[in-house]
Amino acid sequence: MLATETGMLGQVLLVSLVLGAGLPVLFGLGLRAMAWGAGGDAEEHPAGVAPRPHPLGRALGVLCFALAAAGVVLGITVVVASGLGYEVGLGGGPLFVEKS
Amino acid sequence: MRGTGTARTVGAVDAATVILVLVVVVALAFDFTNGFHDTANAMATSIATHALPPKAAVTLSAVLNLVGAFLSVEVALTVTNAVVRIQQADGAPSPDLVQDGGEALLLIVLTGLVGAIVWNLLTWLLGLPSSSSHALFGGLIGATVAGLGWGAVHWAGDGGEPDGILGKVVVPAVASPVVAGVVAATGTWFVYRITVGVAARYTERGFRWGQIGSASLVSLAHGTNDAQKTMGVITLALIASGHWTSTTAIPVWVKVCCALAIALGTYLGGWRIIRTLGKGLIDIAPPQGMAAETASAATILVSSHLGLPLSTTQVTTGSVLGAGVGRPGATVRWRVAGRMGVAWLITMPAAGLVGAATWFLAHLLGGGVLGAVAVVLVLVALSGVMYVRSRRDAVHAGNVNDEWQEPARQRRPAAAGGVR
């Protein structure tokens, strides 16, 4: 009787961990990259030698933020679609599947 | 409407109609307390870290709840089927409960809702986040047991989908804080590791936006999930009394009223609960706030997507605790967490007792209009007492972020007028 629930919980934990911890990690990496990209006082540094700005850092930062934003958009899509009676299929098939 | 007829049928129809009106009003009141109770889930962390000013936070959350409530066209008509047997599988009320104009079923729903509201208000008074769904289920179970006996309780599913009290209440209640806590702790730990050495000025602003985004997602998900439950309950009452027949659609006015009730409740904000969740458990910093809300949003969405919906309240609390555990050197006030745990354990029995007691009261008074009116008067009286009591140490947008003091010490100065 509890086997179904336990199995589902394992799935819930795994997927939640990937999304719920993954997005903050992406966001943190984005901030880190932006700070590296900005140079100067954005990062802690020894007195007197301000780090140079790195354009690559900005690019990486923007990429991380874009990925994180995409995650949020995916979340909203799931909410809206399931509200309208569709499931979002991420297994390679059609994106929106009508719920059975 | 069945208006004209002999004087006698008019009287009979009116009795059921009066009870129906009471059910609808009380259901909307429950929806209101649901929004009110759950503002904290989405916004407590953003308010505590000053990512958003308190009023702006509750307004944003209210708007998103309103939008969320309208987004869901799915019919949650079978909401009571999870825990009791007063409906058939397709959502139609059990035939034996709808003789005499549906009064039997209406009375169970009415007293169940009263049990849920009383418990929601009491936990609000104590500043404890507790699940509104559990309160609703508890109230309905209590009223059903009182009215129909233990046989009408739906204990567990048949091994397929998670169902019954075990699958829909017990398992999610135990799992929610654990799953969300693990996710939030992991996120928090990584975020602190990754941003070591980045200037605070840089991280603060970034995490502020991260928090607002993730909290908005929680609000939207809440609106789509929770408003539906009240819509389902009201529609069930309408079917039972013969004012609605479809089991696949919900009247537009029900949807509008429920959406407005939950949004209004959210906007008024249960400041006492926001305070406990935002300031009581841990002293929350922006990175923790973002990690906690993202963990909450992910867990809520993933769990309902996979068919094992977890309680929003318990998920959020678990996330906040996890964010405290995941930050090296942070303190978690486990005593506050323990009080919440106790509140969760007794939510269902307590709401059930109130539901059962009010059902017996209505039954003693004949179960008709008199009984229903008496039950509603009891509800109004209890709510009034709790409201008046809450004014003694009111928590509002102005003091929600004051330094946390343990309640034992908080009470003494309150008596002397020391605490706002």
Average pLDDT over residues B405-416: 51
Of residues A89 and A11, which shows the higher confidence score?
A: A11
> How far from chain centre, in Å, is Cα B159?
27
In DSSP terms, B186 is beta-bridged to none
DSSP tag of B102: G
- pLDDT tens string A49-75: 778 888 898 899 999 999 988 888 888
Chain A residues inside the 8 Å CB shell of B295: 16, 20-21, 24
- Rounded to two decimals, the pTM is 0.87
Stretch B59-85: mean pLDDT: 82
Please state, in angstroms and rounded to a whole number, the distance separating the CA atoms of residues A40 and A65. Answer: 21
B10 pLDDT exceeds 70? no
What span, in angstroms and rounded, lies between the C-alpha atoms of A23 and B238?
Answer: 44
Residue B63 C-alpha from the chain's centroid: 17
Can you tell me the distance from the alpha carbon of B171 to that of B411, in angstroms, rounded to the nearest whole number?
A: 36
Q: DSSP per residue over B196-260, as a string? A: TTB-HHHHHHHHHHHHHHHHHHHHHHHHHHHHHHHHHHHHHHHHHTTS---SS---HHHHHHHHH
Q: How many helices (H) and strands (E) does chain B have?
A: 14, 0
The arithmetic mean of pLDDT across residues B393-409, rounded, is 78
Q: How confident is the model at residue A48 (pLDDT cuts 50, 70, 90)?
A: confident
Could you read off the pLDDT of B24-48 as tens digits, one per residue?
999 999 999 999 898 998 899 999 9
Is residue B400 over pLDDT 80? yes
Query: Could you tell me how many residues make up chain B?
Result: 420
Check: CB of residue A23 under 8 Å from CB of residue A71. Answer: yes
Could you say which of B162, B207, B302 has the minimum Cβ distance to residue A15?
B302
Q: Which residues of A20-53 are buried (b: 16+ CB within 10 A; e: fewer)?
A: bbbbbbbbbbbbbbbbbbbeeebbeeeeeeebee
**B367, amino acid identity:** G
Q: Which site among A1, A6, A11, A12 would you substitute to test the B interface, given the most B Cβ atoms closer than 10 Å to its Cβ?
A: A12
- Measured between beta carbons, which residues in chain A are less than 8 angstroms from residue B186? 17, 21
The rounded percent of chain B whose pLDDT value lies above 90 is 42
- Nearest-angstrom CA–CA distance, B232 and B87: 12
A vs B: CB pairs below 8 A: 169
Give the count of beta carbons closer than 10 Å to the beta carbon of residue B361: 16
Of A17-31, B68-82, B234-248, B286-300, minimum mean pLDDT range: B68-82
Bridge partners, B93 (sequence order): B87
A81 touches chain B (CB under 8 A): no
Q: Which residues contact B416 (CB under 8 A, 6 or more apart)?
A: none
Over residues B311-329, the pLDDT tens digits come to 889 999 999 999 999 998 8
Contact B308 A9 (CB under 8 A): yes
List phi, psi (to 5°) of A96.
-115, 120
- Whether the per-residue pLDDT at B72 is higher than 60: the answer is yes
Q: Quick one: which of B177, B100, B404, B193 has its CA closest to B278?
A: B404
Q: Each residue of B92-134: pLDDT tens digit? A: 888 877 777 788 889 999 999 999 999 999 999 999 998 898 9
The answer to whether the Cβ–Cβ distance between B198 and A84 falls below 8 Å is no
> What pLDDT shows up at residue B204?
82
Interface predicted TM-score (ipTM) = 0.85
Of B358 and B167, which is predicted with more confidence? B358
Nearest chain B residue (CA) to A61: B206
Q: How confident is the model at residue B6 (pLDDT cuts 50, 70, 90)?
A: very low
Alpha-carbon distance of B73 to A83, in angstroms, equals 6
Residue-wise pLDDT tens digits, B371-381: 999 999 999 99
Supply the DSSP symbol for B279.
I
Of A8, A12, A5, nearest to B171 (Cα)?
Answer: A5
CB-based contact, A100 to chain B, within 8 Å = no
Banded model confidence at residue A99, pLDDT cuts 50, 70, 90: low
Each residue of B188-200: pLDDT tens digit? 999 999 988 888 7
CA distance B362 to chain A (A): 37
**Would the pLDDT of B274 be above 60?**
yes
d(CA B343, CA B361): 26
Q: Which residues of A touch B225 (CB under 8 A)?
A: none
pLDDT of residue B118: 95
Residue B100 confidence (pLDDT): 72
Type of residue at B335: R
Contact at 8 Å (CB) between B163 and B78? no
Spell out where chain A has E strands.
86-88, 96-98
Nearest residue on chain B to A44, judged by CA atoms?
A: B197
A 10 A CB-CB count for B167 gives 25
From the list B162, B187, B190, the residue facing A4 with the nearest CB is: B162
| pLDDT on residue B7 | 41
Residue A85, chain B, CB below 8 Å: the answer is: yes
* B-chain residues near A32 (CB < 8 A): 194-195, 198
pLDDT of residue B175: 87
Yes or no: say if B293 and B46 are a contact pair by the CB < 8 Å rule: yes
Both tokens of B254, joined, read 């029900």
Q: Which of A2, A9, A26 to mutate to test the interface with B (most CBs of B within 10 A)?
A: A9
| Percent of chain A clearing pLDDT 70 (strictly above) | 87
What is the pLDDT at residue B413?
Answer: 43
Does position B78 have pLDDT exceeding 80, yes or no? no
Among the residue ranges B6-10, B25-29, B129-133, B257-261, the one predicted with the least confidence is B6-10
DSSP of B347-409, one letter per residue? HHHHHHHHHHHHHHHHHHTTSSHHHHHHHHHHHHHHHHHHHHHHHHT---TTTTTSPP--HHH
State the first-to-last Cα distance of chain A, in angstroms, to the nearest integer: 24
Helix (H, G, I), strand (E, B) or coil at A99: coil
Rounded to the nearest 5 degrees, what angle is found at the Cα of B82, between the Cα atoms of B43 and B93? 115
Q: Indicate yes or no: CB of A28 within 8 angstroms of CB of B194.
A: yes
